Amino acid sequence: MTSFSAISDRLGDLAIEVPSWAYGNSGTRFKVFGSPGTPRTVQEKIADAAAVHRFTGLAPSVALHIPWDLVDDYAALATYAKEHGVALGTINSNTFQDDDYKLGALTHTDPRIRQKAIDHHLECLEVMNQTGSRDLKIWLAEGTNYPGQGDMRARQDRLAEGLRTIYDQLSDDQRLVLEYKFFEPAFYHTDVPDWGTSYVHVAALGDRAKVCLDTGHHAPGTNIEFIVAQLLRLGKLGSFDFNSRFYADDDLIVGAADPYQLFRIMVEVIRGGGFGNAADGSPNEVALMLDQCHNIEAKIPGQIRSVLNVQEMTARALLLDTAALDAARSEGDVLLANEIFMDAFYTDVRRDLAGWREERGLPDDPMRAYLDSGYQQQIEADRVGGSQAGWN
Amino acid sequence: MTSFSAISDRLGDLAIEVPSWAYGNSGTRFKVFGSPGTPRTVQEKIADAAAVHRFTGLAPSVALHIPWDLVDDYAALATYAKEHGVALGTINSNTFQDDDYKLGALTHTDPRIRQKAIDHHLECLEVMNQTGSRDLKIWLAEGTNYPGQGDMRARQDRLAEGLRTIYDQLSDDQRLVLEYKFFEPAFYHTDVPDWGTSYVHVAALGDRAKVCLDTGHHAPGTNIEFIVAQLLRLGKLGSFDFNSRFYADDDLIVGAADPYQLFRIMVEVIRGGGFGNAADGSPNEVALMLDQCHNIEAKIPGQIRSVLNVQEMTARALLLDTAALDAARSEGDVLLANEIFMDAFYTDVRRDLAGWREERGLPDDPMRAYLDSGYQQQIEADRVGGSQAGWN
Amino acid sequence: MTSFSAISDRLGDLAIEVPSWAYGNSGTRFKVFGSPGTPRTVQEKIADAAAVHRFTGLAPSVALHIPWDLVDDYAALATYAKEHGVALGTINSNTFQDDDYKLGALTHTDPRIRQKAIDHHLECLEVMNQTGSRDLKIWLAEGTNYPGQGDMRARQDRLAEGLRTIYDQLSDDQRLVLEYKFFEPAFYHTDVPDWGTSYVHVAALGDRAKVCLDTGHHAPGTNIEFIVAQLLRLGKLGSFDFNSRFYADDDLIVGAADPYQLFRIMVEVIRGGGFGNAADGSPNEVALMLDQCHNIEAKIPGQIRSVLNVQEMTARALLLDTAALDAARSEGDVLLANEIFMDAFYTDVRRDLAGWREERGLPDDPMRAYLDSGYQQQIEADRVGGSQAGWN
Amino acid sequence: MTSFSAISDRLGDLAIEVPSWAYGNSGTRFKVFGSPGTPRTVQEKIADAAAVHRFTGLAPSVALHIPWDLVDDYAALATYAKEHGVALGTINSNTFQDDDYKLGALTHTDPRIRQKAIDHHLECLEVMNQTGSRDLKIWLAEGTNYPGQGDMRARQDRLAEGLRTIYDQLSDDQRLVLEYKFFEPAFYHTDVPDWGTSYVHVAALGDRAKVCLDTGHHAPGTNIEFIVAQLLRLGKLGSFDFNSRFYADDDLIVGAADPYQLFRIMVEVIRGGGFGNAADGSPNEVALMLDQCHNIEAKIPGQIRSVLNVQEMTARALLLDTAALDAARSEGDVLLANEIFMDAFYTDVRRDLAGWREERGLPDDPMRAYLDSGYQQQIEADRVGGSQAGWN
């Protein structure tokens, strides 16, 4: 097997974008539990995200959600972020919380509402121009709840038209990333339910349109790493929304439900050239983002655990002895190939990673260092009054 | 096949309980859409439920949810309901919206919180004593999100202890009905995930403890009618929460996703003696309740459609030629048995049901009658100001 | 709602292709049960298929499977079929029963085996040239059982190359139809697991390459009618393999598990222009085929039930009042749109269909007519000795 | 965390029963691939099983399947096994491969066939008396494929009656273990689909009736470790059939699909007192068996990999620091509890296990030792002619 020292440098290519909304409150339809120290403003969210990066060295950028993170001056916000040691990243649009969007946004039968949804995306592009963000990530909550409610075919056509209008306003260094989701909040059909649909749309749009793969947005049993391999093959994997799930879109900490699956995904990302392929400091071609809800656990530690999980599985994936694996595959030795594969997964990299961090001036145990730092106590003391941020 | 006239009387045994919360706002974790005319008080919810019964003759009782429907005087509320033509039914407890219950209620590691959850149920029993309700329905939202988070085994023991304490306070004509749910809001394990677990607990409690089967609370592919048959065989089916789903606990209108499944369920209810077996006016042994969310559709019409769907499938199930079916089964004629079964399902009973309604002084088309009645316009005009009811 | 008489003519466009292998024995991995009268030869299979057509008027062509239906003289076989009143249809290839294909065929690491698989398909094209068949249907059983066993990405590339070689040998009036399947017989990954993958490949090949949608080949919860709508929108739906399932690829009688789903599928086929759009007697653009296993039920009656189920749901789908539906959708009336939709589904068309058959000289009750015809008794008496046909 | 040396002794309690049929050929309904060296007789199967034990020290007993392993003299067979270093274990019945059982066995409508199925089980008991086996394992393939085909309720009653008759013939030191299965080979309903149904039946039978949990026999998303915890709590977990799956009952090598799940299962087995609790050399209360199909991989190495996977995950589970875990749970520290849990899982025990083996005179790397031993070459040379064993 490859030695840890041989992969040490490549590990430095790992950069995970954290979402601003992970630091606010979230929950299920039954209850959103609040917690002391929760940010009240986008600045406080960024400060928390910066803390995650400070202790792990893994999370150099923060994704924003419009309108949850609306501010008057995005240039100032970018400066604020930079001063805290992080950058502003992907801009996420929202067409699911306005009453007008009850029955659809880009797919609505009413042209006025479609235009409103398009305009919202153009405003997001305007934000991007100010923040210098590369990616506009579009997750569409639209769909129908009852058979017959909508014309699925016509909705596809309206969707294509709306995306085209938005795409045409991208600047040359901007990208449109289209997420798909199996179900929720729509329960009979969603307008972009699977990678195939997202692919069809972004392929029609052009080179700067890509697919976003959220690891929680698939049917039970779906082989996600196959989709990773396929989209990389097609040059259309734009980004990940990492999280984990047992049932539906549970939005649990990435790697918590099935770490072996996360390992397999990272193996295919590396195999397909999706890892560390950015030229000269620009963002990676495939953006690795988190999209999770810390409904019951502490939020900043939850994010620290998440980026560490991704790092651990990335390290194991890099350790894979691909030469030996290819030989076993060529010989049709099923068990040996599987053994080589699992050998990498079973290797405990945690001590090596602690050393790797120390070499880079990072705490060897980021979680303990955070808990001992007093940051949490400070924000709990400071952030009194105001409204805790959440999904609205 | 059996003729409609032969089943006409038995159809009169159909009584569906509607939940007070169906008339308030509901939604997903992403958004709760409001709508004009939504009740602000439990009295307004009961008035709406009474409207459903007035137009359909199918919904003579209303389930309450504590604390959503807390009032000072339940006897007065029962009188109010009676004056509107309906009765108060099942009392539903709630141990999922208090901050104390973040990590559990009856299963919590902290005895203080367990006692609080028990006390809440005893208060529900007190309400039942005043309303004359028979059933205390317990749905427990508890579980864990991460492997290792809780001791699943110890939680079962604490659950058993808590249920025992509650059960021992039931009066002789009261029942405890324990619901199970595959997942949500907990995403790694739930403490009562399946009918087996619910059965084990209610079997330990005694004769007046039963299982509640919510049709949306199962793993993909689960044969629900088998569970119906099994629980009736065991004498432990207490009630249904009817709704329909394509993916998870979608809480759509019952019969909207798979009417054939609803038909099969009603066939087993009838087969197992669970239909119309109440002596002298008392509630049915197996209570048929709705538990749905009308996130995007009109609420009162949504409830009307729901009870009509149950009626239509009940009628078809009653039409099943069981003698011919048994003969085909005995002969091992797979195709003939299936044909006889589907023959009942395929029979369009809507015109016969319209006639059945007219005979009983009900509108032949309840939906049109409701829409033409002006009720909706009236409540939209009247219910201005105040807070629309919802899930809290 | 549309009247039956208004759709009577369009119903005449319905033509369902039956597979030769449905008349032979099939089973599960645990047991294949035989039955008296089972064909021993392809001629006997064709005779049985012709019986289905004779009694229903719905099944004018028979799909063949190579090598199960290998004969020396396909022209003679075509003549035989014609004399029995049916035509030879789609040719199905088989790269899953030769020992060489244990670890793959078109995707195998060994170029010799890939060439063998390609050659098999070229032989199938040769058969098609003789039978006059339009479609080469390719279902690939390949995939892997263990993570790491194969290089999923490289397998895609080899697959693309193999398909290209085959496609280039098609004549101008032939088509390649690529089926996808979620799992089985491979259990970790399949090389064409979803419509997206099939679409990507056929889009790369050219206009005469299409997707085959087998209704049993999806993940739990998949909205199949959405895929139908999408593929028709993209001009890439080539054919259906109809069957039904509760769990996996159960291969039950189409419409038996969820008739409402079959109705919804037919609605989208009609909506998308996929029904009855053949010019001048040529086969329909979208071929409707059965692909089922009658493991425990009688085979010919099982096929009769199947084509009748498709006919009944097609009739209901044609009855849909699309004008009223569009109006309700435009007004955002969720419940009305759903009601109009279900109204068509709930309409019992069986009596009208009986009349429709009589007008066309067909038995009003094809199942009873078949059972009374003596055909079954005759083949049971005649087909003694020899080997009953099955999946090998 | 607990040190490896502290668990070293307890690891010695691990004993895994291997099934005789794992050494014969198996496959899917599409194809059974043969391989050189496959046993032709039950003796050869036992010899192969003994090889697995010789190299691993983990597999001291072999389960038999009647009638696949029918012999005239079971006492002689037991002696043969003993001479090879293994014992005969569980006896598995088979009521799914006789034509009479097409529509059911213990649940059949025909009393003659029910009696035949009962008699088969009594013959199995007779075998057990001769082999000294403790457990009669019953997996029933019965169920129906089409709604209406059978009377599910009546089938339960017939099942209960049949099981009672069999159970009453057990000797005092014999047990009846009833397996459940979600689906396959029946596709609409199975008569013992879930743990609840199996539990209900064995609870009715008596103390010596237990549930068998096959890890591949659940609905998608089912939390298996919860069922383990529940059945142990109820004193009703009799045995495991270990294997792994991605989709259905894939019967892959245990631990290959989701090793973390296997770890979680072993944690609950240990937590619930199901591990190593046998007094004085008698078999463990909870029998750990394999039930897998090596469709494409080498069979003996496949079994070696399987028992090693169980050993590795058992070691990790034993390493769990339960005291620290309980403390974290009591404090409601979700992330810490999860971290302690995953810490045990992430610990690479392979080097320690190699040392553990060497201490006990076993090869440190059983797989390499087997491959280098010449055993495989020997059986391939010897086992020429005859019929390779398979599932019939």
Exposed (0-12), middle (13-18) or buried (19+): which is D45, by Cβ within 10 Å?
buried
Q: pLDDT-derived band of residue D284, with 50, 70 and 90 as boundaries?
A: confident
DSSP C235: T
- Distance, in Å, from the CA atom of C210 to the CA atom of C201, rounded to the nearest integer, reads 9
Report yes or no for ipTM above 0.95: yes
| Predicted confidence (pLDDT) at residue C279 exceeds the cutoff of 60 | no
Which residues, 6+ apart, have CB-to-CB distance to B346 below 8 Å?
A: C312, C348, C350
A272-317: pLDDT as tens digits: 999 987 655 566 899 999 999 999 999 999 999 999 999 999 999 9
| Predicted confidence (pLDDT) at residue C162 exceeds the cutoff of 90 | yes
Note the pLDDT of residue B392.
79
Write out the two tokens for A391. Answer: 């999904």
The DSSP secondary structure of C141-161, one letter per residue, reads: --EESSTTSS-HHHHHHHHHH
Nearest to B187 among A96, A183, A252 (CB): A252
Residue of A nearest to B145 (CA): A252
- Distance, in Å, from the CA atom of C220 to the CA atom of D340, rounded to the nearest integer, reads 34
Nearest to B35 by CA among B375, B254, B295: B295
Note the pLDDT of residue A282.
63
Which residues on chain D are in Cβ contact (under 8 Å) with B326?
151
Q: pLDDT-derived band of residue A2, with 50, 70 and 90 as boundaries?
A: confident
Q: pLDDT-derived band of residue B102, with 50, 70 and 90 as boundaries?
A: very high
Distances from the Cα of A112 to the Cαs of A101, A109, A157, B247, in angstroms? Answer: 11, 9, 16, 31
Nearest to D156 among B196, B223, B233 (CB): B233
Write phi, then psi, for D62 (nearest 5 degrees): -125, 130
Write out the two tokens for C382. Answer: 């005649």
Note the pLDDT of residue C282.
64
- Distance, in Å, from the CA atom of B88 to the CA atom of B86, rounded to the nearest integer, reads 7
CA distance C249 to chain A (A): 14
Nearest to C256 among D97, D102, D146 (CB): D146
Angle between helix A42-56 and helix A74-83 axes, rounded to 10 deg: 30
Contact assessment for residue B300 and residue B370, using Cβ atoms and an 8 Å cutoff: yes
> Where in chain D does DSSP place strands (E)?
16-19, 61-65, 87-92, 135-138, 143-144, 175-179, 189-190, 209-214, 237-242, 287-290
Nearest to A27 among B26, B29, B250 (CB): B29
The DSSP secondary structure of A54-118, one letter per residue, reads: HHHS---EEEEETTTT--S-HHHHHHHHHHTT-EEEEEE---SSSGGGGG-STT-SSHHHHHHHH
Average pLDDT over residues D208-236: 98
- Distance, in Å, from the CA atom of B330 to the CA atom of B121, rounded to the nearest integer, reads 49
CA dihedral D26, D28, D33, D35 (to 10 degrees): -20
Ramachandran region of residue A381, left (φ > 0), alpha (ψ -120 to 50) or beta?
alpha
B4-38: pLDDT as tens digits: 999 999 999 999 999 999 999 999 999 999 999 99
Which residues on chain C are in Cβ contact (under 8 Å) with A329?
109, 149-151
User: What does the domain layout of chain B look like in residue ranges?
Assistant: 13-312+362-383
Q: Do B187 and A220 touch (CB under 8 A)?
A: no
Work out whether strand B237-242 and strand B287-290 pair parallel, antiparallel, or are unpaired: parallel
Note the pLDDT of residue D2.
84
CA distance A333 to chain D (A): 8
Helix (H, G, I), strand (E, B) or coil at A284: coil
Report the run of H or E that residue A211 belongs to, with start and end. strand A209-214
Q: pLDDT-derived band of residue A392, with 50, 70 and 90 as boundaries?
A: confident
| Predicted confidence (pLDDT) at residue C121 exceeds the cutoff of 90 | yes
Contact status of A252 with chain B (Cβ, < 8 Å): yes
How many CB pairs (< 8 A) connect C and D? 105
- Distance, in Å, from the CA atom of A140 to the CA atom of A191, rounded to the nearest integer, reads 8
Q: List chains touching D (3+ CB pairs under 8 A).
A: A, B, C
Q: Do B296 and C334 touch (CB under 8 A)?
A: yes
| Mutation site for D-interface testing, chosen from A335, A340, A370, A372 by largest number of D Cβ within 10 Å | A335
Q: Do B253 and A146 touch (CB under 8 A)?
A: yes
Q: pLDDT-derived band of residue C2, with 50, 70 and 90 as boundaries?
A: confident
Write out the two tokens for D246. Answer: 């991605």
| Predicted confidence (pLDDT) at residue B283 exceeds the cutoff of 80 | no
Nearest to D247 among C28, C183, C257 (CB): C183
Q: Do A256 and B147 touch (CB under 8 A)?
A: yes
Average pLDDT over residues D159-181: 98
CATH of domain A13-312+362-383: 3.20.20.150
Nearest to A230 among C145, C197, C337 (CB): C197
Average pLDDT over residues B172-190: 98
Helix (H, G, I), strand (E, B) or coil at A346: helix
CA distance B319 to chain D (A): 14
Which residues on chain A are in Cβ contact (under 8 Å) with D261?
258
Contact assessment for residue D59 and residue D49, using Cβ atoms and an 8 Å cutoff: yes
Percent of chain B residues topping a pLDDT of 70: 98
Report the run of H or E that residue B44 belongs to, with start and end. helix B42-56
DSSP D101: G
Q: List chains touching C (3+ CB pairs under 8 A).
A: A, B, D
Distances from the Cα of C331 to the Cαs of A110, C322, C325, C340, D389, in angstroms? Answer: 9, 14, 10, 14, 66
Which residues on chain B are in Cβ contact (under 8 Å) with C345?
259
Nearest to B301 among C261, C305, C335 (CB): C335
Average pLDDT over residues C48-70: 97
B352-382: pLDDT as tens digits: 999 999 999 999 999 999 999 999 999 999 9
| Predicted confidence (pLDDT) at residue D94 exceeds the cutoff of 90 | yes
D31-60: pLDDT as tens digits: 999 999 999 999 999 999 999 999 999 999
CA distance B386 to chain A (A): 19
Average pLDDT over residues A334-352: 98
Other C-beta atoms closer than 10 Å to the C-beta of C235 total: 13
Residue of B nearest to D271 (CA): B153
Nearest to A247 by CA among C253, B62, B185, B148: B185
A53-99: pLDDT as tens digits: 999 999 999 999 999 999 999 999 999 999 999 999 999 999 999 99
Note the pLDDT of residue C281.
59
Which residues, 6+ apart, have CB-to-CB distance to B313 below 8 Å?
A: B255, B259, B262, B263, B265, B266
CA distance B345 to chain C (A): 9
Note the pLDDT of residue A355.
98
| Predicted confidence (pLDDT) at residue C156 exceeds the cutoff of 80 | yes
Q: pLDDT-derived band of residue A45, with 50, 70 and 90 as boundaries?
A: very high
Other C-beta atoms closer than 10 Å to the C-beta of B125 total: 18
The DSSP secondary structure of D241-302, one letter per residue, reads: EE-B-SSSS--BPTTSS-HHHHHHHHHHHHHTT-SS--STTPPPSSEEEE----SSS-HHHH
Residue of C nearest to D302 (CA): C146
Contact assessment for residue A309 and residue A256, using Cβ atoms and an 8 Å cutoff: yes
- Distance, in Å, from the CA atom of D189 to the CA atom of C279, rounded to the nearest integer, reads 44
Note the pLDDT of residue D392.
79
Q: Do D183 and C247 touch (CB under 8 A)?
A: yes
The amino acid at residue A195 is W
Find residues 363-392 of chain B whose CB sits inside 8 Å of chain C.
Answer: 367
Contact assessment for residue B244 and residue B250, using Cβ atoms and an 8 Å cutoff: yes
Q: Do C219 and A221 touch (CB under 8 A)?
A: yes
What's the CA angle centered on A194, arms A192 and A198, to 5 degrees? 60
CA distance B334 to chain D (A): 5
Which residues, 6+ apart, have CB-to-CB distance to B63 below 8 Å?
A: B17, B18, B19, B20, B89, B90, B91, B92, B137, B289
What's the CA angle centered on D26, arms D20 and D31, to 5 degrees? 170
Note the pLDDT of residue B238.
97
Note the pLDDT of residue C280.
54
Contact status of C220 with chain A (Cβ, < 8 Å): yes
Mean confidence (pLDDT) of chain A: 96
H helices of chain A, in order, are 4-11, 42-56, 74-83, 111-131, 152-167, 195-205, 224-233, 259-271, 299-319, 322-330, 334-346, 350-359, 366-373, 375-382
Long-range interactions of D275-280: CB distance < 8 A, separation 24+: D275/D10, D275/D13, D275/D14, D275/D314, D276/D10, D276/D13, D276/D14, D278/D13
Q: Do D297 and C146 touch (CB under 8 A)?
A: yes
Nearest to D178 by CA among D200, D156, D145: D200
Query: Bridge-partner residues for C16, per DSSP?
Result: C288
Find residues 300-329 of chain C whose CB sits inside 8 Å of chain D.
Answer: none
| Predicted confidence (pLDDT) at residue C368 exceeds the cutoff of 60 | yes
Q: pLDDT-derived band of residue B2, with 50, 70 and 90 as boundaries?
A: confident
Report the run of H or E that residue C165 belongs to, with start and end. helix C152-167
Contact status of C33 with chain D (Cβ, < 8 Å): yes
Q: pLDDT-derived band of residue C1, with 50, 70 and 90 as boundaries?
A: confident
Report the Cα C232 to chain-centroid distance in Å: 17
Q: Do D223 and B189 touch (CB under 8 A)?
A: yes
Average pLDDT over residues A224-241: 98
Mean confidence (pLDDT) of chain D: 96
- Distance, in Å, from the CA atom of C154 to the CA atom of C191, rounded to the nearest integer, reads 10
Distances from the Cα of A290 to the Cαs of A175, A212, A311, A349, in angstroms? Answer: 18, 12, 13, 22
DSSP count for chain C of H helices, then E strands: 14, 10
Nearest to A346 among D258, D334, D348 (CB): D348
Average pLDDT over residues C43-48: 98
Q: Do B146 and D337 touch (CB under 8 A)?
A: yes
- Distance, in Å, from the CA atom of C113 to the CA atom of D28, rounded to the nearest integer, reads 21
Contact status of D2 with chain A (Cβ, < 8 Å): no
A115-169: pLDDT as tens digits: 999 999 999 999 999 999 999 999 999 999 999 999 999 999 999 999 999 999 9
| Mutation site for C-interface testing, chosen from D68, D217, D296 by largest number of C Cβ within 10 Å | D296
C342-364: pLDDT as tens digits: 999 999 999 999 999 999 999 99
Report the run of H or E that residue B240 belongs to, with start and end. strand B237-242
Note the pLDDT of residue A284.
81
Average pLDDT over residues A346-357: 98
Note the pLDDT of residue A281.
58
Other C-beta atoms closer than 10 Å to the C-beta of C157 total: 12
Distances from the Cα of A251 to the Cαs of A20, A244, A290, B184, D151, in angstroms? Answer: 15, 6, 10, 12, 42
Report the Cα C376 to chain-centroid distance in Å: 24
